[in-house]
Structure 1
Amino acid sequence: MNSLSSHVLDTTTGRPAANMALELTLPNGIKIAGKTNEDGRCKDWGDTVFDAGIYCMRFKCKAYLEALHGESFYPFVDIHFEIKENGGHYHVPLLISPFGFSSYRGS
């Protein structure tokens, strides 16, 4: 059974990005709202079953970045990724600052 989590870190402050809104789009187009916790993590997607397919995780970073840093070049960051059949756990981290971001497949 597949599972999915995310972690957002603010590289400007070196701290987790707490309370950032997320939106996960499933392969069938259904959208699920999420939010990072105080440690910048999100793994609560309700009772979602993560079948094989292409997903998109949208990190709604503008409000977070403007509140902490006064500005944001990015209103949001979309990360598209593929979940394979019986692929196990998928972790999608985001490193963010007002003018840059990076991601990779975590563990």
Structure 2
Amino acid sequence: MRHIFKLTLATTLACAAMTAGAAERNPLSVHVLDLQSGKPTAGIGVTLEQQAGGQWRELASGVTDAQGRIPALYPEGKAMAAGDYRIVFKTGEHYKRKGQPSFFPRIPVEFTVDAPAQHYHIPLLLSPFGYSTYRGN
């Protein structure tokens, strides 16, 4: 009977930890993939801005990791508000480090948050002379 209790307690604690982690999940993530190589793009500087009173105000910034991701771009401990946001991918710096020409020094992606409780994921498919983006999950 003690073993069953231990297993049940361990399962309950694990489920509680997963539920807490999901509740605390950052509402915004980004991912950059290189269309030429088909690989994630590490080292891309990214800023997050929110529009307020007709002006853009920086909320956060980060750099993509080895998997081309920033899994938590929204400021930690703050609830996302409905409104207009802009993510700026600093792609020119990336291509300059590689010694490769590119056409877009920065790629601004504007989007509207109308359901702040949802998770927003913004992937960027990147090449030196073009890009594509969409709302991911």
- The separation in 2 between residues aligned to 1:71 and 1:15, in whole angstroms, is 19
- The separation in 2 between residues aligned to 1:38 and 1:96, in whole angstroms, is 16
Match 1:53 to one of 80, 83, 87: 83
1:10 aligns with 2:34: yes
Stretch of structure 1 that moved more, 79-88 or 43-52: 43-52
- 1:5-84 superposed matches below 5 A: 5-28=29-52, 29-31=56-58, 32-45=60-73, 46-47=75-76, 48-68=78-98, 70-84=100-114
Give the number of aligned pairs. Answer: 107
SS at match of 2:67: coil
**What TM-score comes out, normalization by structure 2 length?**
0.71
What are structure 2's unaligned runs of at least 5 residues? 1-22
Deviation at 1:30, TM superposition (A): 2.9
Question: For the pair shown, which has the larger CA radius of gyration, 1 or 2?
Answer: 2
What are structure 1's unaligned runs of at least 5 residues? none
SS at match of 2:115: coil
Structure with a larger share of its residues in helix: 2
Q: Deviations over 1:49-100 (max 9, x none)?
A: 3110000000000121233361111101000001113451111000010011
**Which has the bigger relative contact order, CA under 8 A and spacing at least 6?**
1
Q: Determine if contact 2:27/2:72 at 8 Å carries over to the other structure.
A: no
Q: Determine if contact 1:59/1:78 at 8 Å carries over to the other structure.
A: yes
